Structure formats: structure tokens, C-alpha cells
């Protein structure tokens, strides 16, 4: 809801941050969610974790409805649900308490969830540090004593402390050096294989998405416009917006010339999104029907879905 006023709030509209999206993440699978800043990726993550209350819809973890569980369940059941779903934040500098040692940070979930006896805390923290590529002596240090990549490893250890089955990684490498990004992405892959984790990987960096994801969905202004297997999506894009995103990715080959697609205008406001296809004001293929009718999500190739009146099938 969008409101104005200081003392007396007046509702003036609704923000359509996430609107009619649907996807499934399987065990030991990484589902990539990409799009421009402000398209609703992080809001999607927070809604899934019930950190933002949705206006409608449902999230299923296994066969359990997450929203209904949080409304009706006891505190113990809510904590059990929280243990299964964890979040790795974008900024490792801001998501760690500078006054706490690494041991305190990683062992704090043990205090909240009470799933590890206190006599085993030290051993468990050391195991988690080893798991993410750190050493036992790092447990006595403070966050400011680590590099950005090491801090992100600490965040990963904290998320794994409650033995989750589903992890949301919200742009986990965007604030890291390029050389460190590959290490963190490789570590995420190793942990997934070892622990059977399911990932929702959120990013605007298509290179990292291509490296780690099994399937990819593309968001624009709160809606998914295309989704497919990673290789299929990068091989043959069907939606004009996806085509523009992929062509904007830098290629490390000076001899290879890629014609970029410069999209006109700005991203419309989510308070008052365009009628019909939300991408039509900026789309090079738009025609009259695009402003009148919202395109349905259709399977245009095997396992490849797109919502477009004039998909790139040639």
C-alpha cells in the first residue's frame, strides 16, 4: 500500500511489487531469479520467508502452506519452519553484528532454536567454519577483521547452523571482487551437492546466474516474463526483455562484436503499471494488442515458457 501524509495517512494506491508469479524449486536445484533493480526480486524472497505479509497467494514448503503455518502454528512450529528456510543477505558488511565474535554470531541460532546442546556448540561452530572454508581460530575474531569474501562465508555458516533445506541467496556476490565471486559460487555448489539444499538465487548479474543456476526466471516490473532451463534460456531467448538483458552482458573477447539493444524510456512505476504487457512502452516489437491485452505465460518450446504476444521464435 502507498500512502501520503505525516499525521493522517491517506491511501493513494497500491505498489504492485510482485504480481501473479509462480515457480517451483526442487531439492538440490538452484532456481535463478534475474531482472533490473526494483523489479521485485528481493520482495519475492521476503514474501516467501513471510517477512512481508502478502495480500494473496500461497507458498508451499513440501506440502505445508507457509502463510497458514505462520498464522496458526505455535511458536515452536514457527521456529521449526524458520529453520528450514534461511536467507543469505546481499551485504556481508551490514548483516553481521560488529560487536559479536564469529563464534557468537554462528552460535546465536543455537540459542534461539535450541536444536544443539550447549556442550556441542564449540564443536559445531568449528565444523561449520571448516564447511565454508574458514579455520577454527577465526571463531574468536570480529567481523571487521575479515575480508568481504570471508564475511560472506561467515554469513553462509550462520545460515547453515540451523540445518535448512531451502536457502535464498539474495545477490550474495554483488559486493565482492570478481576473483572472490567465483570462489563463493563454487562453494554454494559444493554445499548444495553435499547437503542436498535447494537454492533460490537472486541476482541482476547474468554471468553468475548462468554459472550456478539449473533453471532461470526473468522478472520485469513485478512479473515473470520468461523462464526455462539455464542452457536453453541463454541459447535462445524468447522474450524481447530477456534478449536485451543477455546482450548487455560484457563478453571478455575484444574480437567478438555483440549488438546491444538499448531500451528506450525508464521502468514504469509499480504504483501505476502499464496496461496489457508491462514491457510494451519499451519493447521494440510492441504493437497495439500489447497495450490492450496481457500476454499469457505459454510453453513455446519444450520446458521454455514466455509471456509475449510476439515472441522471438525465428
In this predicted model, what pLDDT tens digit does every residue of 117-155 receive, in sequence order? Answer: 999 999 999 999 999 999 999 999 999 999 999 999 999
The whole-number pLDDT of residue 142 equals 96
Q: In whole angstroms, what is the distance from residue 167 CA to residue 193 CA? A: 13
Burial of 171: CB neighbours in 10 Å, binned 0-12, 13-18, 19+: buried
Q: In whole angstroms, what is the distance from residue 221 CA to residue 21 CA? A: 11
User: How many helices and strands, by DSSP H and E, does the chain display?
Assistant: 11, 12
**Can you list the alpha helix ranges (DSSP code H) found in 132-177?**
148-160
The pLDDT tens digits for 244-287 are: 999 888 777 777 777 788 888 888 888 888 999 999 999 999 99
The set of cell numbers assigned to 173 is: 556476490
Q: Which residues of the chain have pLDDT under 50?
A: none
The whole-number pLDDT of residue 2 equals 53
What SS3 class is residue 51?
coil
Strand partners, 301: 304
The b/e string for 108-138 (b: 16+ C-beta within 10 A; e otherwise) is ebbeebeebeeeebeeebbebbebbbbeeeb
When the pLDDT of each residue in the chain is averaged and rounded to a whole number, the result is 90
Amino acid at each position: 500500500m502507498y500512502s501520503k501524509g505525516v499525521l493522517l495517512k491517506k491511501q493513494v494506491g497500491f505498489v504492485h511489487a510482485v504480481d501473479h508469479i509462480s515457480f517451483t524449486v526442487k531439492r538440490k536445484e538452484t532456481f535463478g531469479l534475474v531482472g533490473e533493480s526494483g523489479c521485485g526480486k528481493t520482495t519475492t524472497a521476503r514474501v516467501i520467508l513471510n517477512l512481508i505479509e502478502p495480500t494473496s497467494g500461497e507458498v508451499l514448503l513440501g506440502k505445508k502452506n507457509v502463510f497458514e503455518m505462520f498464522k496458526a502454528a505455535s511458536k515452536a512450529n514457527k521456529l521449526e519452519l524458520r529453520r528450514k528456510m534461511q536467507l543469505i543477505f546481499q551485504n556481508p558488511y551490514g548483516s553481521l553484528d560488529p560487536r559479536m565474535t564469529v563464534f557468537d554470531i554462528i552460535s546465536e541460532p543455537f540459542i534461539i532454536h535450541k536444536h544443539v546442546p550447549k556442550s556441542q556448540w564449540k564443536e559445531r561452530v568449528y565444523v561449520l567454519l571448516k564447511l565454508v572454508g574458514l579455520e577454527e581460530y577465526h571463531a574468536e575474531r570480529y567481523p571487521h577483521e575479515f575480508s568481504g569474501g570471508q564475511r560472506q562465508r561467515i554469513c553462509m555458516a550462520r545460515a547453515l547452523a540451523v540445518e535448512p533445506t531451502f536457502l535464498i541467496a539474495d545477490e550474495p556476490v554483488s559486493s565482492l571482487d570478481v576473483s572472490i565471486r567465483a570462489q563463493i559460487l563454487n562453494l554454494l555448489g559444493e554445499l548444495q551437492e553435499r547437503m542436498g539444499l535447494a537454492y533460490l538465487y537472486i541476482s541482476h548479474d547474468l554471468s553468475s546466474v548462468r554459472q550456478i543456476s539449473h533453471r532461470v526466471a526473468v522478472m520485469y516490473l513485478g512479473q515473470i516474463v520468461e523462464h526455462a532451463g539455464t542452457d536453453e534460456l541463454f541459447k535462445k531467448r524468447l522474450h524481447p526483455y530477456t534478449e536485451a538483458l543477455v546482450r548487455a552482458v560484457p563478453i571478455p573477447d575484444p574480437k567478438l562484436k555483440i549488438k546491444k539493444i538499448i531500451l528506450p524510456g525508464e521502468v514504469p512505476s509499480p504504483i501505476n503499471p502499464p496496461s496489457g504487457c508491462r514491457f510494451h512502452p519499451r519493447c521494440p516489437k510492441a504493437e497495439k494488442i500489447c497495450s490492450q491485452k496481457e500476454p499469457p505465460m505459454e510453453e513455446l518450446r519444450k520446458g521454455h515458457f514466455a509471456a509475449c504476444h510476439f515472441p522471438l521464435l525465428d
